Structure 1
């Protein structure tokens, strides 16, 4: 009777642990739900390592070759890096899953070139913004899906492809031999027991070898199974305002449901519980290889349904990204839904636009139907203004959200040449890097396209001498201005360009105010060319001696009056 009492205690203990675990899990989910409700749009900006960003960009990289083959436009690396778009991505990325983060990154690299392409996305963003209950249900489900870890799903699928086909013939023969040895015991006990021991040892040794070979791939299956489960749970949410999405998700998850069958066997392969029942089951698996057989079955299903798995990941990622975009909107002090138009001759109008990454950013407004040439002193805000316009144009055509009071524009191909540097790895100087960057913009401008081109150039040809810089800059900017559907926003210190290109570009500038040995900037865009200079004044503010700053000022004033440099100031 004692063993009955002991068994009862064990059963009660197990049941208690299960109930307590279920309560803790329910409590954890409820706490996370409250966090999602209370902190909607108030998330901290994440910081990503270079390795994490590389993983997040895998969907984009995977589709890059297809983009080239189909000539689909995407933001190139120069433009992405010029505008610090990794930082902008981090601002927007309130996704709950790896699929969501990868899809959002892919979305930001692909500005829509047709106004209609953004309409479905806008409808789904709005639906998730307005229905808090459904949004939170979705976020909890997506949070359970979670991360893929160090590698992307697409990396894991590549790993599985490289593993190749694994047949179950040997494992089936092992089970058959085991059964025959048991039958043999009834005929010849000694021979049957001997055969059973030998076959069991062979099965155990081969099992351990096979198990070590497949363990690294369990993470791949784990995310795929969680993804299928997440899709099934999402379909339990009413989604009244997203019937099209529900229909698409149903179509994508249905072919993958058979993968669920006996999938739990695979994920017990790496279990290390001390539970007596599980220990006994471990020996059964060693003898029969049933989990290895299931692994090979799953491997075949995954490799055979790779396209369907990728499509499901992107479908789940899409809705996760849509929810994140809604949260990003809530985090902004001012935002708008852009008004996009198709066609080549589309003016760009921004009212109170600001850089989304900057705290207390100064908003600026303008309307342009041709190029803009911006002058102004050092640190006056020229580069930040260019980035503000470029980033808002990208956000308008990707996440259908702008950090502005209003935004009206076309569906542009967007390029920039701004934050360049020497390419030491390839032995290229700054000037070579710069002219190659400008050449790609010129090539895009000369390419026949139904979509207008919007380009941003900061300090044209700064890597060469003044005379050749002004001559070449004039011709490059002029050629861009006369191309139909090309809009160039350029910043320069060369006032000469504002006169030479007066018929091609509208002149704007930023001003500063010098007070009490300090330079104060308003960061407000003003019409016309700049009339002031502050480079020498900044030398004085930083602490250079008056001997240097005073003579520098005298030399500059002399050159402005005479057009010649006098060497008497250095004698």
Structure 2
């Protein structure tokens, strides 16, 4: 990154000041236009009133000008209102990013709906308050939130794919203005939800195209032409016969397409605003400079086609939505077969684009994902994009820290794990073992999402991630703490048989049994794990397990975190060391708190 945190602070402060001023100026403009609009309306009524009393043609023409001015000011007022809302949304985003920068919280959704009490999702705080999802999330649509969720659930494991995303994010993270424009525009319409997507997908799957398309495409112009001729004939002669025949024929066709398109009209007619939003968002992304990046180029190409095509569908959806005006559609169907025109347009669009809509919707989510990771990268200029090894099994880090910890609290560590094996991590209570495990897991997950990581340098082999850190019992499922832990360990053992290479994070297992049983079970499990192509970080208080290193020096290595007692105070440095922890603190803390 080519900026510092101080520059970021200034950048967002300037944004806040500029948008605050812009919103204030637009508010004054809108108030002035509202006053001017009222004056034009009064002038129109007054001139029309005077015309009826004086019958002066000049007054009639002036009243038309007054009406034209009034209508123009309605449009202008709507335009400036929309512009003000865009600036308000940009102001909201700038304030949010400034708050995030100063560790005051992120106003975007925290992903609580995705909270899963399984695997690394619960162990690494992936979803919910103060989660990794919440740290990254800048999505504004349901599609985007789902895409971010899926990337957390299924991180990438192919070197080429990760590098492609790294390249796209590095380029896109320099386009704050376009990301800001996307988010501000999406926030104009907050009613997009899973119901809208379901309705669109149902329409795509259930819609049955016309078998006699050519006939309806011709008759929708021929019959209305005869109907208009019949109308003038009726007005001229007073003979309703020809007009009545045309109206009956028109309604026969309307009833046919209504029967055929009833479900489609119901699904599409309510989607106009959401489709318009999608079209606008795609249009914004077409302005992103790709800089020869493959992912961005592909997404821009898709966005260009999708913007135009979905805009057409939005127009058709709006036509269908207008059918709710019974008086207007009754007249239009009687003379022009309005529903037939809607049905033919919808049928033509479906035939041309039915195979693409699902992909376009997925692209909306993918762009939202890029927005989230790009802003994350932009807001963390000291984070680095990892290097990736296609072969072997390794994780090497320089000054790695936990991305959810503030810079003031963070203590970084460096290490080099160059091959499969078990790393026994010992240390006293609160010395940093669990945080270290989560630090490695979170950064590996970020790396496999194409994001920069909280380190000065990071080199890794893409691998699956499994963990057993937090355990909770369940009264509803009649599961004890001990059984829940065993189930988690069994799941890991089963998964690594087919999903490898893997990083496995284990924190103090078998706490629910006696010390002898705990040692024996832990030792046997460790010996099972060293036979697999995995890197295992195994945190434990049981120093006896470190004796396994003597028998398996090529497979088991000991690391530790130490604590010291100085002047009756417990001190932690949270620094990872080679070797076995020597110091204890449980008895000291119990005495200090008066427990013993």
Distance 1:497 1:219, change over 3 A: farther
| Counterpart position of 2:178 | 137
Q: Give the aligned CA root-mean-square deviation in angstroms.
A: 4.4
> Matches of residues 33-432 of structure 1 in structure 2 within 5 Å?
43=100, 44-46=105-107, 48=109, 53=114, 77-86=118-127, 87-95=131-139, 97-130=141-174, 132=175, 135-141=176-182, 143-145=184-186, 149-151=192-194, 154-161=197-204, 164-165=207-208, 183=230, 186=234, 189=239, 214=265, 217-220=268-271, 222-242=273-293, 245-247=296-298, 249-250=300-301, 254=305, 257-258=308-309, 260-261=311-312, 263-267=314-318, 281=328, 284=331, 287=334, 290=338, 294=342, 297-298=345-346, 301-302=349-350, 305-332=353-380, 334-344=382-392, 346-359=393-406, 360-369=409-418, 370-432=421-483
Task: Give the number of aligned pairs.
Answer: 514
Q: Once the 2 structures are TM-superposed, how far is the Cα of residue 125 of structure 1 from its aligned partner?
A: 1.6
**Aligned pair partner of 1:477 in 511, 516, 526:** 526
CA distance in 1, matches of 2:350, 2:511: 53
Query: Does the 8 A contact of 1:354 with 1:403 survive in 2?
Result: yes
Structure 2 stretches lacking a partner, 5+ long: 1-50, 53-59
Distance 1:237 1:290, change over 3 A: farther
Q: Once the 2 structures are TM-superposed, how far is the Cα of residue 21 of structure 1 from its aligned partner?
A: 2.7
CA distance in 1, matches of 2:286, 2:329: 35
1:454 matched to 2:503? The reply is yes
1:25 matched to 2:87? The reply is no
Distance 1:335 1:51, change over 3 A: closer
CA distance in 1, matches of 2:549, 2:478: 34
1:531 matched to 2:582? The reply is yes
Q: Once the 2 structures are TM-superposed, how far is the Cα of residue 338 of structure 1 from its aligned partner?
A: 0.7
Please list the CA deviations of residues 15-73 of structure 1 after superposition, one character each: whole Å capped at 9, or x if unmatched.
Answer: 1121233234345445656777898686552453667549xx9xxxxxxxxxxxxxxxx
Structure 1 stretches lacking a partner, 5+ long: 58-75, 550-571
SS of 1:327's equivalent in the other structure is: helix
CA distance in 2, matches of 1:51, 1:159: 27
Query: Does the 8 A contact of 1:478 with 1:501 survive in 2?
Result: no
Distance 1:208 1:316, change over 3 A: closer
1:16 matched to 2:77? The reply is no
Query: Does the 8 A contact of 2:285 with 2:303 survive in 1?
Result: no
Distance 1:201 1:535, change over 3 A: farther
| Counterpart position of 2:547 | 499
Query: Does the 8 A contact of 1:32 with 1:140 survive in 2?
Result: no
Q: TM-score, normalised by structure 2?
A: 0.71
Query: Does the 8 A contact of 1:354 with 1:388 survive in 2?
Result: yes
Please list the CA deviations of residues 420-474 of structure 1 after superposition, one character each: whole Å capped at 9, or x if unmatched.
Answer: 2224443332223222221222233333x7x521111111222333322211110
Distance 1:452 1:201, change over 3 A: closer
Q: TM-score, normalised by structure 1?
A: 0.74
Query: Does the 8 A contact of 1:82 with 1:417 survive in 2?
Result: yes
Query: Does the 8 A contact of 1:266 with 1:295 survive in 2?
Result: no
Distance 1:151 1:390, change over 3 A: same
Query: Does the 8 A contact of 2:265 with 2:320 survive in 1?
Result: no
Q: Once the 2 structures are TM-superposed, how far is the Cα of residue 88 of structure 1 from its aligned partner?
A: 0.6
SS of 1:383's equivalent in the other structure is: helix
